[in-house]
Structure 1
Amino acid sequence: MSNKDYPSFRYLPHPNPTSKHKRDQLLAAPAFGRVPTDHMVMIRYHEEKGWYDAQVMPRGPLSLDPATAVLHYAQEIFEGMKAFRTQDGGIAIFRPDANAARFHDSAVRMAMPPLPKQLFIDAIDAFVKADQEWVPEGENSSLYIRPFMFADEAFIGVKPSSEYLFLIIGSPVGSYFTNTSVTVWVSETYTRAAPGGTGAVKCGGNYAGSLMAQAEAKRHFCDQVVFLDATEHRYIEEMGGMNVFFVFDDNSIQTPPLGGTILPGITRDSLITIAREKGLTVREEAYAIEQLFADAESGRLTEAFACGTATVVSSIGCFKTHGREVTIRNGLKGPAISAQLRTALVDIQRGRTQDTRGWVHRIG
């Protein structure tokens, strides 16, 4: 599909948009994912028409037939992105081309029609322009953007749908975690993904399958869960919704390799790039859980951190599992490479550092 074949966006103004006074109140301390903006984007797909009927419209409920395919066969994918207020007062989105590429790959794996990458970016631009007043100004605040697509055909039968809806909604957000350091439960009961499955896809089923493990973590007073590999149940893979990194006493960094069972995080990729440009050694290698406990107890492991669009970078202070618990660096504070990487990343996102990689997409 060439640019000229893209559907043009129709703008349907909101009949009763949120007042400035109420919006300012909501932006003062937004709970993560709880405050909706005024608009949404919707684009329809039919196998005979392709993509059509692109609209920026008032956010509102959807009307679905009880036999809508997504409700029965979970043919659904999504992305997570943020829009930031920059130092010069503008608005920027971080690496939307990478989100567009991952959304494309997720669609292919889930037997869905790939949304053209430029149409994905154009849709993001249209949404943010419509709700630009909802982009907060606080240092730890941003507009969280959720593009998603699902099977919209009404039928009962196991096959790819012939109709789909692509939508974008958004919510102003603050910090994802309230604690400066999180405690992580190592799940020995549940597995997130297996080779040949959908571990590298950003689809709802992966997250639904993690909820029991996350509940198990909460029962043990942990903030998050980390999963081990499905084959040997030894190697650390991914957290409930985040990638994970480890820092050692020689200042080297290690993160689990992708290989089809781990989501290729955009924050993960960005941190690896920044770290290597700073001269740090980064290894994408398997890391066994027993080795983690040994390295933490010996002091060789000096830091661990989670990363993702929602959390950016969050320090991990403690790992727990049945009958075992270890605190990173015995709880002592020291020079934190994770904090340096977080600052470098956020400074790029907010326009405080020159963007030499073409990562920042300005909203004109």
Structure 2
Amino acid sequence: MTTTTSSSTAAASSSSLTSAPFRASPLFFHPLPASHVPLPGKEAHGSYMLQVPWSKTSGWGQAKIVPRADISIDPLSGVTQYAVTCFEGMKCYKTESGELTLFRPNENFNRFKVSAARMGLPSDWDNAELLDLLCKLLALEAPIVPSEDGASLYIRPTLIETSESFGIKEDGNAGEALMYIVTTLNLGKGLYASSEKAETGLRVDADPNYVRAWSNGTGKYKVGANYGVVNIAKKPGFQMSLWLHGSEDFVSEAGAMNVFILKEASDGVLEFVTMSLDNGIVLPGITRASIISLLKDHASGKKEFPLEGVPKNIRVVERDIPMKDIMDGAEDGSLKGMFGCGTGVVVVSIREIQYRGRLISIPYHPVVKILRDTITGIQRGRIEKEDWVVKVPKWQGVVNGEKEAEGQKVIA
């Protein structure tokens, strides 16, 4: 098995050396007609989509930005038969001055590559070329990007196997694939206020009968199959599931979020405890990593936390979190709070857990709102962190300095 996988990977790598690389130019652009009206039920979606096809034999095809539309795929394709797909979650923000920004897009693209490679999908694109294309797509959607807090344009880069993948193949890698990016408004906005105060925190259900991921599985990859299980496990009256694993019911994620607990340690230090990435069960979240980076800088004295209110005497701990720790901490008072974080929700407080027939109340800690306001402040340009923010240049389908005639298909 190892020999086959290695030879397949080597063959794929060798093939990629002679096939067409991923390029942002030439770009095929098809403007929307002036008469364009969104389809019923799709008014909240962006009007355009980016598409880049790929073939094992010829490499990456021409990039296209076209009006958003359905795609056609083989009914025996890898995505329909075996869920051979991965995706990313990103957001575009509008600053107070009207500029569009992206938050750490290269981190998303790098994770996208890791997920793609795990699924046998192409992963050799150039991040700078992909960013160029994404910025052009977002520039076209600029009029609908909201500026109010809690609102944003959500971005969904997706990669699917489009070649037939039915039965046993000699090569486990995809033969053909399609990368596409679509956008939609305000994913997660409804939970934005969940960090404001105790009574607005989320209620989550921890059911040991449902397991999201396991050690050395695909939990750390953003693959489609990981997320199809989310809704079926959700209980009425609870916003999402708190995923458990192992003999001690260790906490992994909540819904599709990374999780932190706030715990006062025996030495009086306030610990921000989150599950380690070592066993591959949880997704290496971009928001998670950003929070850890900011907290560690603050704790070490390297750089003050951007907003006031975070205690000085803190530390970040990455380890397994058994449910017993949460229950004991709730009883003895050492548990000071709990929150989830991710692209969609940013940072949200968790106020109650249903677990094995009992309800566990979680204290509210004001640092949760400070974390949320810091991350969103950076995203919207209110807090300076230039190395984490990319500004989206303006673009309206201009070719050679001249705007093309309305409705005309052009190469940019």
Distance verdict in 2 for CA 1:108–1:15, change over 3 Å: same
Q: Which residue of 2 aligns with 1:166?
A: 179
| RMSD after superposition | 2.3
1:41-66: per-residue Cα shift (whole Å, max 9, x none)?
00000011111120010001112222
Range moving further from structure 2, 253-262 or 9-18: 9-18
Secondary structure at 1:246's aligned position in 2? strand
Range moving further from structure 2, 78-87 or 121-130: 121-130
User: Structure 2 CA distance, aligned partners of 1:17 and 1:268?
Assistant: 43
* 1:14 is the counterpart of 2:29: no
Tell whether the 8 Å contact from 1:34 to 1:171 is kept in structure 2 after alignment: no
Secondary structure at 1:278's aligned position in 2? helix
Q: May I ask how many residue pairs the two structures share in their alignment?
A: 344
Q: Which residue of 2 aligns with 1:183?
A: 203
Aligned partner of 1:64 among 73, 79, 82: 73
1:22-74: per-residue Cα shift (whole Å, max 9, x none)?
9xxx9xxxx9x971111000000001111112001000111222222210011
Distance verdict in 2 for CA 1:34–1:176, change over 3 Å: farther
User: Structure 1 CA distance, aligned partners of 2:287 and 2:355?
Assistant: 27
Distance verdict in 2 for CA 1:346–1:244, change over 3 Å: same
Q: Which residue of 2 aligns with 1:319?
A: 353
Q: TM-score, normalised by structure 2?
A: 0.79
Q: Which residue of 1 aligns with 2:398?
A: none
Tell whether the 8 Å contact from 1:104 to 1:117 is kept in structure 2 after alignment: no
Distance verdict in 2 for CA 1:348–1:17, change over 3 Å: farther
1:248-268: per-residue Cα shift (whole Å, max 9, x none)?
234221111112111000000
Letter in 1 for 2:382: R
* 1:227 is the counterpart of 2:236: no
Q: Sequence identity, in percent?
A: 30
Q: Which residue of 2 aligns with 1:343?
A: 373
Q: Which residue of 1 aligns with 2:270?
A: 251
Letter in 2 for 1:6: R
Aligned partner of 2:323 among 286, 289, 303: 289
Q: Which residue of 2 aligns with 1:241?
A: 256
Distance verdict in 2 for CA 1:17–1:58, change over 3 Å: farther
Q: CA offset at residue 13 of structure 1?
A: 0.4
Aligned partner of 1:36 among 35, 45, 62: 45
User: Structure 1 CA distance, aligned partners of 2:22 and 2:206?
Assistant: 49
Q: CA offset at residue 123 of structure 1?
A: 2.6
For residues 1-364 of structure 1, the aligned pairs below 5 Å read 6-8=23-25, 9-16=27-34, 35-114=44-123, 115-158=125-168, 159-173=172-186, 175-177=189-191, 180-214=200-234, 217-218=235-236, 221-229=237-245, 231-249=246-264, 250-259=269-278, 260-279=280-299, 280-329=314-363, 336-356=366-386, 358-364=387-393
Letter in 2 for 1:337: V
Q: TM-score, normalised by structure 1?
A: 0.89
Larger radius of gyration: 2
Letter in 2 for 1:324: R
User: Structure 2 CA distance, aligned partners of 1:141 and 1:323?
Assistant: 36
1:138-193: per-residue Cα shift (whole Å, max 9, x none)?
11111000000100113522443200000000011161427531001112101111
Secondary structure at 2:62's aligned position in 1? strand
Secondary structure at 1:296's aligned position in 2? helix
Distance verdict in 2 for CA 1:41–1:5, change over 3 Å: closer
Structure 1 residues not aligned, in runs of 5+: none
User: Structure 1 CA distance, aligned partners of 2:163 and 2:204?
Assistant: 40
Structure 2 residues not aligned, in runs of 5+: 1-15, 195-199, 300-313, 394-412
Tell whether the 8 Å contact from 2:24 to 2:133 is kept in structure 1 after alignment: no
User: Structure 2 CA distance, aligned partners of 1:327 and 1:140?
Assistant: 26
Tell whether the 8 Å contact from 1:69 to 1:75 is kept in structure 2 after alignment: yes
User: Structure 2 CA distance, aligned partners of 1:273 and 1:103?
Assistant: 21
